[in-house]
Amino acid sequence: MLIAILAIAALAALFGVLLGYSAIRFHIDGDPIADQAEALLPQSQCGQCGYPGCRPYAEAVAKGEAEINLCIPGGEATMLELADLLGREPADMGEIVEKPKAKARIDEKVCIGCTKCLQTCPVDAIVGATKQLHAIINSECTGCELCVSSCPVDCIHMVPIPETLATWKWPYPTSLPAGQGAGVSALALTAGEAAASGGRSQDEDQREAA
């Protein structure tokens, strides 16, 4: 009996020493879970989650200090991915207003060249210098809206990204019948009527976008 207890105790001691050694010898710097969580976030550094950037939020979520439903640009998809990664229950996203993706645009006539927006942009998407006109590089803007409030003359506006043939997606099928709605009776649309009703046309700016 005593021998059994001693044997188990000895084994436990051995494993303890092994684990302790491994914890020191194979220690990793940094938090791999935080890295993985950061990879799931949209990287707009907008601060809407309450943390100053995506990396601090990722670290907080990895430590378990923050809820996973705080990222608004990421939306439901990001929340589900975080839940999957961290093994947590998917949380309710609350009232999310689906905002169309937009990019910032500076009104050239109003800009005074104060460089305040240059300093706030987290991805350096604004070019310019003191007393020179500022402009936003459309392909780099992430739509985080941090610059809008920093402008003292209120010249930055968010312009929704126009949909193009390249960005168009098939919609999620609704429960409409496979025939997609009641049959169009006699084909009344001629060329003229189609032009008048106006198909969705592409904005001039779509050539700039991405």
Distance CA 55, CA 43 (A): 9
DSSP-derived letter for residue 38 is H
C-alpha dihedral (5, 8, 9, 13), degrees to nearest 10: 170
Distance CA 210, CA 101 (A): 13
Q: Is 1 in the site for another protein (CB under 8 A)?
A: no
Residues 47-76 that bind another protein (CB under 8 A): 53-54
Part of the chain binding another protein (CB under 8 A), chosen from 16-24, 86-94, 146-154, 192-200: 192-200
When the beta carbons of 94 and 179 are compared against another protein, the nearer one is 179
Half-sphere exposure in the Cβ direction for 16 (13 Å, CA): 6
**Pairing state between β 156-160 and 102-106:** antiparallel
Backbone torsions φ then ψ of 155, nearest 5 degrees: -100, 5
Q: Which of 4, 97, 182, 196 binds another protein (CB under 8 A)?
A: 182
Q: By rule CB under 8 A, what string of x and - marks binding of each residue 141-180 to another protein? A: -x--------------------xxx-xxxxxxx-xxxxxx
Q: Which of 31, 33, 36, 43 binds another protein (CB under 8 A)?
A: 43
Q: Which of 85, 123, 148, 159 binds another protein (CB under 8 A)?
A: 123
CB of 198 to another protein, least distance (A): 9
Q: Is 190 in the site for another protein (CB under 8 A)?
A: yes
Category of 24 on φ-ψ map: left (φ > 0), alpha (ψ -120 to 50) or beta = alpha
When the beta carbons of 5 and 191 are compared against another protein, the nearer one is 191
Q: Is 202 in the site for another protein (CB under 8 A)?
A: yes
Burial of 187 from C-beta contacts in 10 A (0-12 / 13-18 / 19+): exposed
The binding site for another protein (CB under 8 A) comprises: 38, 41-45, 53-54, 77, 122-125, 140, 142, 163-165, 167-173, 175-180, 182-187, 189-191, 193-195, 199-202, 210
